Every structure is written in C-alpha cells, then in structure tokens.
C-alpha cells in the first residue's frame, strides 16, 4: 500500500498534519479519479458510522453491579466454608491425637497387664475421630 493510500485512509477518520494534508491535496488535484475514490471511501466510512449500534439492555449497568456482588459473595462464602471445614477437621484431628496419646500412655504404664477394656475403648475413640476427620476432608 503506497503512502498516498495510507494518507487517504487516515484522512476519512482523523485530522492530518498540515504537511500531510497538503501532500494529499496535491495528489488529489493531479488525479481526479483519486478524488472520486476518496469521496467514495468517506461515504462508506460515514455509512458504517451511521450503522453503529451501541444498545445493550437498559438494565445493563445494574446487571453488571449485580454480577459483581454475586461473584464477591460467592467467593466470600466459599472461603467461609473452607475455613469451617478446616476448623472441624482440625478439631477431629486434635481429638484423635489426644486419644492416641492416652492410648500410648495406658499401654506403656501397664505393660504387663493393661486394665481390661480401656485399650479397646481408646482404640475405638481413635478410630471414630479418624473416621470423622476423614469424612470432613473427603
């Protein structure tokens, strides 16, 4: 594409510098066919500008704000849920650790004959809290 064509295309849409304008006019005066072409281009550009449509739904701005509010509350809820889940997992885990510690204590102190039923009970408690902790995670 030659320099003249670039100037002609720019001229239908924006103001050229005085030098550019002069250059364009000299070429147009020399060749009347190019003048016709320029007017045609200007007409096409004007018709395109007239065909511009910028109508969204009248409620568009409100719908954007609604979407932002919904997105933010969604992310806030997700964070709270995550926090709550971790809290419960943490609690169940702590309980499991406590039970394990108790069980270890009981077995080490009574290495010869542990009190009947106490080990089974602690084992059961450890299993139970582990189960709840896993359930929260999964």
Partner 1 sequence: VSNWGVKGVFASFLGVPVPNGSVCTSQPEHSQLDEKPSLEKELLQSAAAGDREAFRLLVEKHHSLVAATVIGMLGHGPESEDIGQEAFLRMHAALKGFRGEASIGTYLTRIAMNLCLNEIRRRKRRARFDFRFSKSEPPRTSDGRTEIESMSFQDSIRRAILRLEPEQRSTVVLCWMDGHTARDAADILGIPIGTVLSRLHRARKNLRQWLAPEMEDKHHG
117 sits in the region (left: phi over 0; alpha: psi -120 to 50; else beta) called left
Is 6 one of the binding residues for partner 1 (CB under 8 A)? yes
Nearer to partner 1, 31 or 46 (CB): 46
Shortest Å distance, C-beta 25 to partner 1: 19
Q: Please, are residues 122 and 106 in contact by the beta-carbon 8 Å criterion?
A: yes
| Residue 47 binds partner 1, judged by CB under 8 A | yes
* DSSP letter for each residue of 108-137: HHTSS-PPTTHHHHHHHHHHHHHHHHHHHH
Which range touches partner 1 (CB under 8 A), out of 2-10, 79-87, 88-96, 109-117?
Answer: 2-10
Residue 36 binding partner 1, by CB under 8 A: no
Q: Is the CB of 18 or the CB of 117 nearer to partner 1?
A: 18
Q: Say how many Å lie between the first and final Cα of the chain, rounded.
A: 64
Alpha-carbon torsion (13, 20, 25, 27), positive or negative: negative
Residue closer to partner 1, measured from CB, 38 or 129: 38
Number of residues that bind partner 1 (CB under 8 A): 35
Separation of alpha carbons 94 and 74, rounded Å? 30
The residues binding partner 1 (CB under 8 A) are 1, 5-6, 9-10, 12-14, 40-41, 43-45, 47-58, 60-65, 67-69, 71
């Amino acid at each position: 594409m030659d320099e003249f064509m670039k100037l002609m295309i720019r001229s239908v849409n924006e103001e050229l510098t005085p030098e550019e304008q002069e250059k364009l006019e000299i070429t147009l005066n020399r060749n009347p066919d190019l003048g016709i072409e320029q007017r045609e281009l200007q007409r096409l550009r004007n018709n395109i500008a007239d065909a511009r449509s910028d109508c969204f739904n009248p409620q568009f701005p409100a719908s954007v704000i609604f979407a932002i509010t919904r997105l933010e509350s969604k992310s806030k809820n997700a964070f709270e849920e995550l926090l709550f889940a971790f809290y419960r997992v943490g609690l169940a885990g702590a309980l499991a650790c406590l039970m394990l510690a108790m069980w270890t204590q009981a077995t080490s102190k009574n290495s010869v004959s542990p009190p009947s039923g106490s080990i089974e009970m602690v084992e059961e408690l450890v299993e139970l809290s582990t189960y709840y902790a896993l359930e929260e995670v999964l």
